[in-house]
Structure 1
Amino acid sequence: MVDLKSTASILSYEKNLEEQHKRAGRSVGVIAILFMSFRTLGVIYGDIGTSPLYVLSAIFPDPPEDARDVIGICSLIFWSLTIVPMIKYVFIVLRADDNGEGGTFAFYSILNKYSGLSVNGESRSDDNSIVRYDTSSTHSFKQPNLIARYKLIQNALLIIVLFGSSLVMSDGLLTPAVSVISAVEGIAIKAPSLETYIVPISCAIIVLLFLAQRFGTNKVGDWFAPIVFLWLVTIASTGIWNITKHPDILRSFNPYNIFDYFIRNKGLGFNSLGGVLLSITGVEALYADLGHFNRISIQLSFPLFVYPTLTLAYLGQGARIILDPSIVKPNAFWNSVPDNDLIYWITFVFATLATIIASQAMISATFSLVHQAVQLECFPRVKIIHTSKVLEGQIYIPEINYFLMIIIVIICIVFKESANLTNAYGVAVGSVMVITTILTSITICVVWKLPIILSITFLLIFGIIDLSFLISTLRKIHEGGWFTLLLAFIICLIMIIWKWGSRLKFQHALKSKTKLEHIFVNDDEPDKGDEEMIEKDVSIDPSSKIAIGEMEPSNELVDGNSTTKEMNFGEIKIRKGVNKSQIRLASSGFQVSRLPGIGMFYNEVAFGVPLTFRHFIQHFPAVPQILIFITIRPVAIPYVGDDDRLVVRKVSNYDGCYNIIARYGYMEKISQGQEFVKKMLESIHKFDPTHEGLLENSNHVTYVVSQQQLHPKLNASWLKRLLIYCYVFLVNNSRQLYGNWNIPIEDVVDVGMKIAL
């Protein structure tokens, strides 16, 4: 007999064990989130966390005469931290993620995606099918919107995004300078004789920081979070110590003090907003660095730890200023540190390390922005080195690194003091905040599909706040703010010219495309039996997404827009017996030899035969046995899965001739090496299993790329000629297109051509 008691006990035990496993899984998940939240301290909050070093000194260039002014400023700082980083960024903007990625280009990506647009001018519906949404902030694209219908709106959106990215890059130049100098200035408080060495020491730290970039941040990344954690604990403890000396500073939590401050000071009070803005510098990092972590980790770390520690630090400095207004000269922060040598020098060490981390965060963000811009064809090609085998986002760009180092050292020498740099610093942050508000309001309507009244409300509330900060900083533009705007304008102009020139080249390639039938002829007539279409079963993984085109009876080029479909089942149609392996040139009648190996001709257009091939075949009437016309397509998503990487088509019915589209996200490294070739041939074999010897040719690959000499047309206007000459200058001074593609240089053949744009 079955022992029911034993059976019930076993079932009860198994049920309890299952519940324990679930609870353990939840516990592990909670611990992982908490640990990730801790790690955000070392990457995201370096900039905003070091702002207490210089904010109150920038707001009060002279000792304040009224304690109510100090309370009003501290109230402004508290509510600014609450409204902008906390409410706007942490709980609203972070929801505008692009498959987990953030930043200005993420806005561009999702807005393009939901408008059915392509990043390189060639709109294809099959690119939209590879996007997968897992967050609650996304909806599927259904019908054309205003962005899709009007070219003017598309261009305006692109310019806004490029200018916003340029401002973040220019901000990346000022952050290391202002942060490091403000920390090193602490030497002069305890050792006045070293004051003349502040700038040289700051420059030395910056040079060492940039020289260390080539080793990658992964080697020191584990140390970042504990250092910033100790730094924030230190300034919060100092703040509490100062608050106990003058508890009346806690009145700053009352927003009435803000209105009282503005009423009493009128125009001078509005000017103070430029200094208050410095307390929230680094908010762009909350969004830009989203891809390194996740939304929940940031939504935990900022409200629960960063926000209260910064509040205590600012209130503590305010309390000390009320007791002794003279401490604002030369630096309110360092004069508010307890008068104890050990505490002072420990604070100095943590401040220096924290400012280095803040600088590192902005340098890494600049590298990431440049990388994304290159992938989206918005920036000249540069050498990109991946410093981590585990973390894809950790990159190093030598040209940008040394350019930043030289410019930042010059900035330190010219401006000399952190107070001089803060005037230039706020303009970039205020401008980025306004652009983020505009893009978020568009996202609320276009992407999240919420009522337009919510989009307008968001734009009005946060737009007024951001514009107030920006206008306040613009009033000091003659004191240094011009530098940031000028630098951002130059970077933006470079990106606009590059994007414009790339589109012009693409349009020329589109007009110059041809068909293989216009290049080759075949005298052999096919038999009637050859016209027969047969059905053939092919074993294909149902999850595979290799796009194929059905072969039509005519020899017309298969257009992917009309005949391409996704292969989700194991049945394809194959033309039987048409032999076009023996071909000759239509122009000269020369016989074309078929050589062993694979020839990959890179094509800017996803269909048709590139001008490179036509130019090549006219001089060398020989083609490889396997002829591939390949297009590298950047798509407006961060990453593309392996199943969606390749689109494979047959070029008419010529033996061994294929069109390939290789799709890459803007956060990915383009790789065309041996591993890619192997996967490509496997995909071709699934599409065309009748072709034998594909995999055997994988070691004999020739990469044929175009080496173009660009020049303006004779009838071009003077403005267009000037822009083309600027674009040509950028092309000539940028890296080769395939320089970062992991292609063996000895297997590359350059085909030179002159192109009039």
Structure 2
Amino acid sequence: MSHHKDLQKLTAAGVLISLGIIYGDIGTSPLYVFKAIVGGQRISETLILGGLSLIFWTLTLQTTIKYVIITLRADNKGEGGIFSLFSLVRRRAKWLIVPAVLGGCALLADGIITPPITISSAIEGLKSYYPDLPTVYIVIAIIAGLFFIQQFGTSLVGKAFGPMMFVWFTMMGVLGIIYVVQDPTILKALSPHYAFELLVSSNSHVAFNIIGAVFLCTTGAEALYSDLGHCGRDNIRVSWVYVKASLILNYLGQGVWLLQHNGQVMDLNINNPFYQIMPQWFLIYGISIATIAAIIASQALISGSFTLIAEAVRLNLWPKVKINYPSEQKGQLYVPSINWLLGAGCIGVVLLFQQSDRMEAAYGLSITVAMLMTTILVSKFLKRRKYPNYVITIFLVVYLLIEGTFLFGNLVKFIHGGWFTLTVGLVLFCIMWTWHTARKIRNRYVKFVEIEDYYEIIKELSDDNTVPKYASQLVYLTSANFNSEVESKIIYSILQKQPKRADVYWLVHVDVMDEPYTREYEVDFLVPNKLIRIDFKLGFRVEQQINLLFRKVVEDLVKKGEVDITSRYASLNKHKIVGDFRFVVIEKVMSRSSYLSFYERLVMEFYKQLKKISLSEERNFGLDLSFVTVEKVPLMLADPESVQIHRIQ
């Protein structure tokens, strides 16, 4: 935890780490934003000055004010991101699960399009030298390599990201200044008057196209908030000043170069203004630095996707999947299934769209949805923090209007590629929503009983030598939130389904907390030395290694003399041999679905398919499989007493 607190302090190292982790996406946007704004249009002063004005005010209103100033306040014990934000506000209203899931899916969909567009834009700079170079193969090779190395952890190369991105932003700022000095009048483009003039003078279709293109300059703002826990609020805010200055200077420099070609219609894929403002001798170095920056941007997004999925699993919004921890570094994790799915998706995008200018059409739509969902959740956070209602209303109106406009701008691109990320997002939403809804349906039919009614019989069973001993220590995982309750199926398993005699019965419950890194437990001796309940309170970013955690708790209880786990078999007891432990996991299986509505039957059918590819409960909780018994029990959807049948003679 001390390391975590150190990250929250403002330090030179913290600022450098922020440059390497956070700004990959937003920092590589100058590679393609002006290309997208100009498109195939004739270059004019209105277009360039208006485009620059729109970029400046988008970065100011959207990135600086909404994210850096306002949203970074919504930290959950130092952690950021849409699921951290959801955990902060979810108790205010049940429907907040919808924007959280939509936003999470949109961010994951963004992870499939960002690596292809950034790496393609960087590599396409080589077309200045070799116009016929097939860049697709180079891009695919880089993406394949990037996803291949994920399994080994990236903490070692990650340390070099900060200095590399510092070089990248400094390079962009210097290149921009060289052109701004040539024509300082370009600075007038910072006036909002030019943005207004461009949008008013263009027809509605062109105006929305331009708005959709301008939005690409702020797509990384959501990632900036997601990485709050890695860098700390103050480090992000200070580093953003430098990043924003570098970005604006580079955009202004590109604007000067474009105005030098006023009245021309140019193919910006070959004459990308980002590379055109570089001296000829520097071009190969510039392309190399751009490629490294694009790879770093992609790496940041892949790591963010892993974190997002891990949080979704803990919050029961995603099927249980294998999560590895390749290094000791905090937050470093690797999700094999997501890694290969993302990798295949990215390569598919490159093969489908071929060029970065075609990918621009698919880019932006899903991230606009994520930003809209964050706006809704942040408004709830501001309400929780007791901000005046008029402040919250102004925040909501301003940002729903801005992001709503961007959404329409991006919807214009739907048929040209926007359909792709929206389709991916929709598939992800179906998975998350099904997993969440199915759990609620199943919980509806889980019957709980008062455990106190069974104290005496459990005690008698434990002492009954006529019943063969099942295990010395018998552990059940329970979903009952209250100490006074237990699932009827657990009682049935102990007393009726092959009566299970044990020296001590344990009930283990895991409660996922709204704080990210909580690790606490409570012990309740329901029947001293016979029936003990342990409640683990684990944060939504804590790995649920119940096997290890349970063992640690038992060791602590033994040291304090609160429990005796020595074997009761005479031959073993005299040698103080510890008794055996056995976990019983009860898997609830839907018996019949005729009592469910059509929608619920559909959800449960999809859930059944998802269960086949997800980890089993015992693997998900990190249990030692050699000590686990899985008992399948049917979930009764109808009360037998409500069924009428007549006997005939």
TM score, norm. by length of structure 1: 0.77
User: Of residues 480, 493, 498 in structure 2, which corresponds to 1:605?
Assistant: 480
2-structure distance, mates of 1:218, 1:710: 44
Deviates more, 1:461-470 or 1:57-66: 57-66
Secondary structure in structure 1 of the residue aligned to 2:633: strand
Give the secondary-structure state (helix, strand or coil) at the position aligned to 2:486: coil
1:193-239: CA deviation from partner (whole Å, max 9, x where unpaired): 31xx2111111110000000001121211111111111111122211
Q: Distance in 2 between matches of 1:94 and 1:313?
A: 26
* Contact kept? 2:52, 2:189, Cα under 8 Å: yes
Please state if 1:722 is matched with 2:602.
Answer: yes
Distance 1:748 1:521 in 2: 24
Q: How does 1:567-646 map to 2 (within 5 A)?
A: 580=460, 583=463, 591-594=466-469, 597-606=472-481, 607=483, 608-610=485-487, 611-612=489-490, 614-615=492-493, 617-641=495-519, 645-646=520-521
Paired residue for 1:178?
117
Change (3 A) 1:174 1:633: same
Count of aligned residue pairs for this structure pair: 618
Q: Is the 8 A contact 1:231 1:351 kept in 2?
A: yes
Instruction: Render the CA deviation track for 1:59-104: whole Å, top value 9, x for unaligned.
Output: 1112434212201111110111111111111111000111111111
Question: SS at the partner of 2:364?
Answer: helix
- Which secondary structure does the structure 2 equivalent of 1:390 belong to? coil
Correspondence for 2:220 among 259, 282, 288: 282
User: Would the aligned equivalents of 1:600 and 1:628 in 2 still touch at CA under 8 Å?
Assistant: yes
Give the letter aligned to residue 402 of structure 1: W
For residues 187 and 496 of structure 1, the distance between their equivalents in structure 2, rounded to whole angstroms, comes to 44
Kept in 1: contact 2:208–2:408 (CA 8 A): no
Any stretches of 5+ residues in structure 1 without a counterpart? 1-27, 116-146, 148-152, 523-578, 585-589
The 1:692/1:426 distance shift into structure 2, 3 A limit, reads closer
- CA distance in structure 2 between the aligned counterparts of 1:339 and 1:215, rounded to whole angstroms: 38
Aligned-partner Cα distance in 1 for 2:578–2:56: 63
Identity within the alignment, %: 30
- The equivalent position to 2:51 in structure 1, one of 73, 83, 97, is 73
Indicate conservation of the 8 Å contact 1:685/1:691, yes or no: no
Q: State the shift of 1:691 in Å.
A: 5.1
Question: Which of residues 532, 537, 540 in structure 2 aligns to 1:663?
Answer: 537
Q: Which moved more, 1:592-601 or 1:289-298?
A: 592-601
Cα displacement (A) at 1:722? 1.8
The corresponding residue for 1:402 is: 340
Q: 1:582 and 1:741, CA in 2 relative to 1: closer, same or farther beyond 3 A?
A: closer
Contact 2:7 2:230 in 1 (8 A): no
Does the residue aligned with 1:386 lie in a helix, a strand or coil?
coil
Q: CA deviation at 1:743?
A: 2.5
Q: Deviations over 1:416-454 (max 9, x none)?
A: 111111111111121122111121112111x21111111
Task: Give me the whole-angstrom Cα distance separating, in 2, the residues matched to 1:676 and 1:466.
Answer: 47
Partner of 1:355, secondary structure, is helix
Letter of the 1:625 counterpart? D
Correspondence for 1:483: 420
Residue 362 (structure 2) aligns with: 424
Residue 522 of structure 2 aligns to a residue whose secondary structure is strand
The answer to whether 1:515 aligns with 2:515 is: no
1:390 equivalenced with 2:335 (yes/no):
no
Change (3 A) 1:513 1:385: farther
Aligned residue for 1:749, secondary structure, equals strand
Is 1:650–2:525 an aligned residue pair?
yes
Q: CA deviation at 1:516?
A: 6.4
* In structure 2, distance between residues paired with 1:712 and 1:227: 59
1:709 to 584, 589, 594: 589
Is the counterpart of residue 679 in structure 1 residue 553 in structure 2?
Answer: yes
Which amino acid is the alignment partner of residue 69 of structure 2? Answer: F
Give the TM-score normalised by structure 2.
0.90
The verdict on how the C-alpha distance between 1:259 and 1:719 changes in structure 2, with shifts beyond 3 A counting, is closer
Structure 2 residue runs of 5 or longer lacking an equivalent are 1-5, 568-572, 638-649
1:345 correspondence with 2:284: yes
Q: Per-residue deviation at 1:328?
A: 5.0
- The 1:345/1:715 distance shift into structure 2, 3 A limit, reads same
Match of 2:240 among 291, 297, 302: 302
Separation of aligned partners in 1, 2:312 and 2:565: 41
| Conserved? CA contact 1:327–1:336, under 8 Å | no
The equivalent of 1:136 in structure 2 is: none
Q: What is the deviation of 1:332?
A: 2.4
Contact 1:60 1:328 (C-alpha < 8 Å) held by counterparts: no
**1:50–1:179 CA contact under 8 A, matched in 2:** yes
The CA distance in 2 between the partners of 1:493 and 1:78, in whole Å, is 37
Partner letter of residue 600 of structure 1?
V
Map of 1:573 onto structure 2: none
- CA deviation after TM superposition for structure 1 residue 616, in Å: 5.0
**2:191 paired with 1:251:** no
When residues 327 and 435 of structure 1 are mapped into structure 2, their CA distance, relative to the original with a 3 A threshold, is same
Write the distance in 1 (CA, Å) between the matches of 2:267 and 2:391.
43
Deviation at 1:336, TM superposition (A): 1.7
Separation in 1, partners of 2:9, 2:509: 44
Structure 2: distance between partners of 1:410 and 1:334? 26
Q: Determine the C-alpha separation between the residues in 2 that align with 1:505 and 1:88.
A: 39
Residue deviations 1:106-130 (CA, integer Å, cap 9, x gap): 1211113xx4xxxxxxxxxxxxxxx
Candidates 77, 80, 85, aligned match of 1:107: 85
